[in-house]
A and B are shown apart, each in its own frame.
Chain A
Amino acid sequence: MTARDETLASLGPTARAARGPRRSGLARQDRRLGYTLVAPVVIVLLAITAYPLFYNLWNSFHHINYLDIANFGTFAGVSNYAKLFTSDQFVPALVRTIGFTAVSVLVETTIGLGIALALNRPFRGRGIVRAAVFIPWAVPTVVSAELWKTMFDPQSGFVNYILAHLHLPLATTTWLDSTWTAWAAILVADAWRNTPFMAIVLLAGLQVIPQDIYEAAKIDGASAWQTFRRLTLPLLMPALMVALIFRTLSSFLIFDVVYIMTGGGPGTSTQVLSVLNYQAFLDDLDFGYGGAIAVALVIMALIIATLYVRALRPQQET
């Protein structure tokens, strides 16, 4: 039972009586209904993903390299997977990707939570502010990546222009020219586009929490921080978990922003896993290796998701 159920515990005798006798028959009916209702989503997703999943799995265990016709189609064992560790590209890209993911998720979750909490209160003009804050999501990723690339250009962008006018440091940097400033630029572009996502999911999560809980807490004399920590956060946890999982995995698989803004540069210092995967498919025409990278990405995504669920599970324990 969640804290919510405890708070609004017993309603009345009728409700409880509904959970009466004939439990096993009801349970079977209940299960059958459940399977019927969940079937559409499973069937649709299975239909779409089954072929790509096994296409890449199959490729990853064979030599499917269009530039290596002699061995084409032969069984490769785990050599494509071994190449992940022997090539000097995969592991550094993995480290970079993990680092970027950690930072971007932290930044975007914090800001997104702040926005959601702020928008959850009533104030005049809230509707306009809500719409304004969500507009970045209306711009397609490809376009926003090109846009931010231009913004950070020292000649035709506004970032350096504004920094210079405000007499702030870094006003003369060529952002995409050195590793850390390039990462900063990518982070800004990514955060601008994706923080609205966190805000919108968390706001809906906040909206589902009824106000009477806060009333009760106020009557009991709880401070704002205590209310947040003990009431809001636990009740927000399911929405927060979903938001975190999806945002983390999206960050982990980030492609457009990096490819368009830096192409993986300077050098290879912003080369993330998806860019590597792209090069394997398009430039190297090695679908065996590319398939192995894709499968590795899926496995890592599952690991990340499991870690999240494990970490956040205690709050949901019955």
Chain B
Amino acid sequence: MSASVAVARPGQVTGSGKRRIRPGRLAGRTGFFTLLAIFVVASLFPFYWIVITSLKTTAEYNQGTTSLLPPSHITFSNYIDDFTQQDFIRPLLNSVGVSLATTLLTVVVAALAGYALSRTSIRGKSGILGFILLAAFFPALAIVGPMFIAYKHTGLLNTLPGLIICYLILTLPLATWLLTNYFSQIPKELEEAAIVDGSTRVQALRKVIVPVAMPAIFTVAILSFILAWNDFTFAVSFITTANNYTAPLAIYNLGQSQFQVFYNLIDAAVVIISLPIALLVIFAQKRIISGLTAGSFR
């Protein structure tokens, strides 16, 4: 093992020559791309289904499925309906706000805890991690009842901050466990070098560990955002006026009356709310690529 570490960026093509592609290699390549194609189709096909359903009129939706192709009469009326008649903008904004706040809080709190649990010598790590896990796996069903009572008495019922607090129970355990594990992979030498250069521990965390672990932090941020964004159980229990609805609540309610379910309306709403997530993933996954080199070895 060499003492001077030239760390290649993950994904950088290594130097071995590619002059001659062996048959086995070609088969491997084809197999690789076929597999990838299968993944993509399997992931996206149901979404394609959602999209074409959202372009159908209600009458056409009731005809049932006769083909995989988009309907001959594409209509955007469902999308227009969702925004004008059903006032979908409000729930969307509520969801964005709540999810962003939850993500921010989660990343900060979990990063601090992850650092402590992986790189300091506190006692009781296993107990703390075990407790965090316990919090994660208490059935949501058993939480909403007592939390409702607690929120009613503290005035947090039907408020978005109340939701944010509850979402932390969804996001913090996973975020803390993940960051604890990712941080533990980073060599101690990195921050020790920084400390020797005069930083405090917390400064070292901010300037050295976090940039190096940026792929992990972005992953945790994406996961937390999506967890908060998608929640239905807590929202349906704690939010009681339409003004405070979050997107999943609104979706669930907008296409329904007691017996009727208007999937074309619902699917249009699903497309609308999936777009921010899709954009988020596309934007953030560029950051995930950054790898270990950012600001580490000099």
On A, residues with C-beta under 8 Å from B are 2, 4-5, 7-11, 14-15, 17-19, 27, 30-31, 33-38, 40-42, 44-46, 48-49, 51-53, 55-56, 111, 114-115, 118, 120-122, 127-144, 146-148, 150-151, 155-158, 161-162, 192, 196-197, 200-201, 203-212, 214-216, 218, 235, 238-239, 241-242, 245-246, 249, 252-253, 255-256, 274, 277-278, 281, 287, 290-291, 294, 297-298, 301-302, 305
Contacts and interface: CB of A to CB of B under 8 A. Distances in A.
Contacts, number: 332
Interface stretch (B70-78, B86-94, B125-133, B237-245): B125-133
Contact of B130 (A134, A201, A305): A305
B36 A118 contact: yes
Contact-residue size bin, chain B (C-beta under 8 Å from the other chain): 35 or more
A290 B128 contact: no
A277 B112 contact: no
Contacts of B150: 51
B10 A211 contact: yes
A129 B286 CA distance: 12
B139 A277 contact: yes
A289 to B, nearest CB: 12
Nearest to A306: B130
Contacts of A208: 182, 185-186, 213, 215-216, 292
B147 interface: yes
B184 A238 contact: yes
Contacts of A40: 109, 112-113
B205 to A, nearest CB: 8
B259 interface: no
12 contacts: A15-B189, A36-B116, A48-B169, A49-B143, A121-B11, A132-B43, A155-B65, A203-B219, A204-B288, A214-B14, A242-B181, A294-B141
B208 interface: no
A235 to B, nearest CB: 7
B39 A133 contact: yes
B278 interface: yes
A27 B121 contact: yes
B30 interface: no
A55 B142 CA distance: 9
Contacts of A255: 140-141
A129 B232 contact: no
B222 to A, nearest CB: 7
A212 B216 contact: no
Nearest to A191: B42
Interface in B127-178: 128, 130-143, 145-147, 150, 165-166, 168-169, 172-174, 176-178
A204 B178 CA distance: 10
A190 to B, nearest CB: 13
Nearest to B269: A143
Given A27-B121, A143-B251, A135 B134 contact: no
A151 B49 contact: yes
Contacts of A277: 139, 141-142
Interface in B231-277: 231-232, 247-248, 251-252, 261, 263, 266, 270, 273-274, 277
B13 to A, nearest CB: 7
A137 B277 contact: yes
Given A131-B278, A200-B223, A53 B138 contact: yes
A161 B65 contact: yes
B128 A42 contact: yes
Question: Which 3 pairs, one residue from A and one from B, show the smallest C-beta to C-beta distance?
Answer: A34-B120, A138-B277, A34-B122
Nearest to A160: B65
Nearest to B33: A123
Contact of B266 (A4, A33, A143): A143
A271 to B, nearest CB: 15
A124 B270 CA distance: 29
Contact of B14 (A11, A137, A211, A290): A211
Given A41-B113, A192-B42, A158 B68 contact: yes
Interface string B178-200: 10011011111100110110000
Contacts of B286: 127
Contact of A49 (B14, B130, B169): B169
A301 B142 contact: no
A133 B282 CA distance: 11
Nearest to A240: B181
Contact of B146 (A55, A118, A210): A55
A212 B7 contact: yes
